[in-house]
């Protein structure tokens, strides 16, 4: 949902508050025509399932060249050559021949590479990657993460990676924002958050990661369930599940405040620093 806000893709009935600052401009102030200039060109998105993100009845070549023709005004021949270069860049072998392939003729990892190629076609400043490795097995996941890391360096783009997988996040990110029930509850450098979580939800998430040296019969979990998105919550949304809750937690929304230098935390009773 947050990624869709950044791309201006929410339905007209949606109410968006606050600011989305990008290149010195608040994106929420833009008209639809102005947003169209930015969407897909300066900000692009990789959706989580490459099989549904790609059109099954169009070839890979048609789907990549469409971006180049529509967004960069390239001619057909130039767009085809550029599509070949992009497929090379995302390490797809026999790239020119692959342009004639349909999505179902490629493996899951290859399809995700195609989606990434279409995403970087316009050399965006920001790439939003929504669970880009969820549908892939572990070894292909590692290859895609490696690809995103090297593209980030080669092209100088910023990546917002949306993921439930802390392992993936810790491999690729500099900074992490942990969200619960639609709000950021903790934010800071990924190493700090990973090794010294301050928010009880972040701590619970990290404890629930399976460890190779784990010997107990039961894996740690966070008790309870996530509140419904339509439930109106006055205080901290995590309170019913929080082992550190206090009386004020259920009555007042904890503000996101700066703690420990570069870190932000929204909690009245954070985990003490060790
Ligand atoms: S504000 Fe209270 S309920 Fe919410 S996470 Fe912090 S201690 Fe727990």
Determine the pLDDT at residue 213.
78
The Cβ-side half-sphere exposure at 13, using a 13 Å CA radius, reads: 0
- Which range of residues forms the domain containing residue 124? 40-162
Q: Could you tell me the CATH number of the domain that includes residue 59?
A: 3.40.50.300
Region 57-82 average pLDDT: 92
In-domain check, residue 34: no
**Quick one: 49 and 149 in the same domain?**
yes
In the chain, the number of structural domains is 2
**Per-residue confidence (pLDDT) for residue 98, from 0 to 100:** 94
More confident residue, 48 or 101: 101
Q: Which of 267, 271, 272 gets mutated to test ligand 1 (max ligand atoms within 8 A of its CB)? A: 267
Q: Which residues line ligand 1 (CB under 6 A)?
A: 200, 236, 238-239, 242, 244-246, 249, 254, 267-269
Q: Residue 112 has what pLDDT?
A: 87
Pocket of ligand 1, candidates 184, 199, 254: which has the most ligand atoms within 8 Å of its Cβ, to mutate?
Answer: 254
* Of 265 and 274, the one with more pLDDT: 265
Identify the band that residue 46 occupies on the pLDDT scale cut at 50, 70 and 90.
confident
Residues 158 and 44 placed together within one structural domain of the fold? yes
Whether 58 and 143 map to the same domain: the answer is yes
203 and 157 within one domain: no
Mark whether 200 and 133 lie in a shared domain. Answer: no
Evaluate if residue 217 carries a pLDDT over 80.
Answer: no
48 C-alpha to center of ligand 1: Å? 31
Quick check: 51 and 108 in contact, CB under 8 A? yes
- 46 shares its domain with 134: yes
Residue where a domain terminates, one of 127, 162, 197: 162
Residues 48 and 98 in one domain: yes
List the helix and strand counts (H, then E) for the chain: 12, 9
Distance CA 239, CA 180 (A): 11
* Shared domain check, 106 and 53: yes
Nearest CA to ligand 1 atom 8: 245
* Within a domain: 225: yes
Nearest ligand 1 atom to alpha carbon 248 = 2
Report whether pLDDT(134) > 80: no
* Residue 271, in any domain of the structure: no
Q: Which atom of ligand 1 is nearest to the CA of 246?
A: 2
Q: Return the closest-CA partner of residue 180 out of 134, 238, 102, 123.
A: 238
In a domain, 83, yes or no: yes
Give the whole-angstrom CA distance, residue 146 versus residue 149.
5
Cβ(236)–Cβ(244) below 8 Å: no
Find, among 160, 157, 220, the residue nearest to 184 by Cα.
160
Q: Which residue has the higher pLDDT, 233 or 238?
A: 238
């Amino acid at each position: 949902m947050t990624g869709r806000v950044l791309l201006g893709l929410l339905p007209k009935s949606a109410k968006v508050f606050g600011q989305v600052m990008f290149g010195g401009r608040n994106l929420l102030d833009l008209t639809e025509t102005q947003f169209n200039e930015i969407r897909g060109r300066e900000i692009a998105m990789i959706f989580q399932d490459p099989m549904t993100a790609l059109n099954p009845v169009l070839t890979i070549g048609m789907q990549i060249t469409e971006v180049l023709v529509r967004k960069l005004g390239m001619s057909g021949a130039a767009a085809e050559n550029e599509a070949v270069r992009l497929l090379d860049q995302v390490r797809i072998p026999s790239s020119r021949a692959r342009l004639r392939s349909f999505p179902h003729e490629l493996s899951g990892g290859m399809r995700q590479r195609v989606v990434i190629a279409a995403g970087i076609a316009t050399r965006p400043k920001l790439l939003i990657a929504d669970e880009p490795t969820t549908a892939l097995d572990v070894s292909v996941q590692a290859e895609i993460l490696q690809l995103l890391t090297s593209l980030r360096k080669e092209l100088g783009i910023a990546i917002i990676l949306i993921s439930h997988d802390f392992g993936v996040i810790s491999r690729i990110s500099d900074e992490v924002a942990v969200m619960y029930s639609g709000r950021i509850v903790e934010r800071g450098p990924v190493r700090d958050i990973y090794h010294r979580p301050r928010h009880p939800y972040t701590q619970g998430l990290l404890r629930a990661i399976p460890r190779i040296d784990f010997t107990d019969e039961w894996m740690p979990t966070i008790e309870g369930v996530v509140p419904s998105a339509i439930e109106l919550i006055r205080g901290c949304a995590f309170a019913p599940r929080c082992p550190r809750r206090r009386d004020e937690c259920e009555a007042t929304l904890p503000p996101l405040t700066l703690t420990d230098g570069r870190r932000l935390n929204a909690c009245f009773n954070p985990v003490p620093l060790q």
